[in-house]
Amino acid sequence: MPPFIPLPRFMLAGEYSINAKLLYGLLLNRTTLSQKSGWVSEDGNVYVIYTIKQMADDLDRSERTVKTALRELENAGLITRVRQGWNQANRIFLQIPDRVQVSSPCMGQKLPTSNTDAEYKEHSKTEPMTAFSKCCIWQ
C-alpha cells in the first residue's frame, strides 16, 4: 500500500478549504511520530512540532497558503498553537470534535455508519489528542 495521509470523515463533511483538510490530515499523521518521540504535554496531550516551511514542502504549497490553512483550522477550533519562543516552531495540539466517534480497534469499537452531515458540522466543542487516543486511532 502506498503512503497516505489519514483524513477523518468529519473533515469531508465540514466546509473547510482543501488546503485546511490536507493540512489537518498531515498533522494527524504526524501525531504518530510525536507519540513515538514522547512529545506529550504535562496534561497528557500529544503535540506536533512542525515548521511552516516543512509543512509547505510536504504539501507542495507556499508558506503563505500553509499559514492561511493553519489560521482556518485554529479559527475552527481544530488545532491550538502554543508559541515556544523566538525562532522556534510552535507546539500544535490537534483537537478532535467531541461529536466524532473514533475508531478504536484496541477497545473493539467501530466507526458509526449513519451519522448525518449535521452531526459532523456542529462541533463547537473539541477535545485534545491524548497519548491514549493515538492507540485507538492508528492501530
Tens digit of pLDDT for each residue in 60-115?
999 999 999 999 999 999 999 999 888 888 999 999 887 655 543 433 344 444 44
Q: Does residue 2 form part of some domain? A: no
pTM over 0.75: no
Least-confidence region, from 22-36, 45-59, 104-118 = 104-118
Q: Does residue 1 form part of some domain? A: no
If one counts the domains in the chain, the total is 1
> Is there a contact between 123 and 19 (Cβ–Cβ < 8 Å)?
no
Least-confidence region, from 39-48, 55-64, 69-78, 120-129 = 120-129
Q: Does residue 4 form part of some domain? A: no
Q: Which domain holds residue 67?
A: 9-138
> Is there a contact between 10 and 97 (Cβ–Cβ < 8 Å)?
yes
How high is the pLDDT of residue 127?
57
